[in-house]
């Protein structure tokens, strides 16, 4: 087996990552590509927990502009993450990867309730744990859920999957001369207002000295490079 730098990881997937070039919903081909990368590192001996977002289906904060109460909108967004989690589970299971979907909201017919010790036990048994419904509370993003769950399960790193190569000083989709950072401290992320994770998630990661790697999941092999500790994307640490 290869020399792994990170043996237990928390992979943060945005809902947008699952829709590919579509403007809404789930692209089965994109989910398959993501699932294949997850399977690859799983077979290397990596324990993987995944927090998935729901922005490809419903985004609670954006819904407030149409008159939906913020708490209600966030709860609707939590349900969107469940749909994404089930889609990812289905693809992984078809590839022969054993999984468990664990929800912060109780819905026993669909997913197990999230219990920290049970989640750790699933990881120890070689299952991929897909964590849905965020923290189970409104006003907290799935970024914060990722930092919280990573800390709870004792993950070595948060792997923040994006559509760009790392963290830039400007939007690389709009600014051709945007500069990518190789390394950042938590305080630099907060003071510069960089969009790595939200400020709550960044602060929680800083308090627990939990490194964050922001990388492009659209390039095959990048997830493997990340767990091996190869230079990839942007790393945020102390």
Q: Does residue 131 fall inside a structural domain?
A: yes
Q: Does residue 103 fall inside a structural domain?
A: yes
| Chain centroid, CA 212 distance in Å | 11
Quote the pLDDT of residue 183.
Answer: 95
- Give the CATH number for residue 53: 3.40.1160.10
Q: Name the residue with tokens 């092999």.
A: 221
Quote the pLDDT of residue 173.
Answer: 81
Quote the pLDDT of residue 134.
Answer: 96
Q: Does residue 188 fall inside a structural domain?
A: yes
Q: Looking at the 3D structure of the chain, how many domains does it have?
A: 1
pLDDT tens-place values along the chain, 238 residues long = 678 999 999 999 998 889 888 888 999 999 999 999 999 999 999 999 999 999 899 877 677 778 899 999 999 999 999 999 999 999 999 999 999 999 999 999 999 999 999 999 999 999 999 999 999 999 999 999 999 999 999 999 999 998 889 999 888 888 889 999 999 999 999 999 887 788 999 999 999 999 999 999 988 899 999 999 999 999 999 8
Quote the pLDDT of residue 66.
Answer: 80
Q: Checking DSSP bridges between strand 234-237 and strand 112-113, what pairing results, if any?
A: unpaired
Q: Does residue 133 fall inside a structural domain?
A: yes
Q: Name the residue with tokens 């927990």.
A: 49
Distance in angstroms (rounded) separating the CA atoms of residues 175 and 141 = 27
Q: Does residue 152 fall inside a structural domain?
A: yes
Q: Does residue 104 fall inside a structural domain?
A: yes
Listed in order, strand segments (DSSP E) in 14-103 are 47-52, 99-103
Query: What DSSP designation does 43 have?
Result: T
- CA dist 9 to 38, 54, 105, 154, 227, Å? 11, 20, 23, 9, 8
**Cβ neighbours for 216, distance < 8 A, ≥ 6 positions apart:** 161, 162, 163, 164, 165, 166, 222, 233
Q: Does residue 2 fall inside a structural domain?
A: no
Q: Which domain, by its residues, includes 233? A: 8-237
For residue 62, the SS3 value is: helix
Q: Does residue 1 fall inside a structural domain?
A: no
């Amino acid at each position: 087996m290869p020399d792994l730098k990170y043996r237990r990881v928390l992979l943060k997937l945005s809902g947008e990552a699952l829709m590919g070039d579509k403007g809404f919903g789930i692209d089965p081909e994109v989910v398959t590509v993501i699932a294949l990368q997850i399977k690859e590192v799983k077979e290397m001996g990596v324990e993987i927990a995944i927090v998935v977002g729901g922005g490809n289906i419903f985004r609670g904060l954006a819904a407030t502009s149409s008159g939906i109460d913020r708490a209600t909108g966030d709860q609707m967004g939590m349900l969107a993450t469940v749909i994404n989690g089930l889609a990812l589970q289905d693809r992984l299971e078809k590839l022969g990867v054993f999984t468990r979907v664990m929800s912060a909201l109780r819905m026993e017919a669909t997913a197990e309730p999230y219990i920290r010790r049970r989640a750790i036990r699933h990881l120890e048994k070689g299952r991929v744990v897909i964590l849905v419904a965020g923290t189970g509370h409104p006003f907290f993003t799935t970024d914060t859920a990722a930092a919280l769950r990573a800390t709870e399960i004792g993950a070595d790193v948060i792997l923040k999957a994006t559509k760009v190569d790392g963290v830039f000083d400007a939007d690389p989709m709009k600014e051709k001369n945007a500069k990518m950072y190789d390394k950042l401290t938590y305080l630099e992320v907060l003071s510069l207002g960089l969009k790595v994770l939200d400020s709550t998630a960044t602060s929680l990661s800083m308090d627990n000295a939990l490194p964050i790697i922001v990388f492009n999941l659209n390039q095959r092999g990048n997830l493997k490079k990340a767990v091996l500790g190869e230079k990839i994307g942007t790393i945020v640490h102390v």
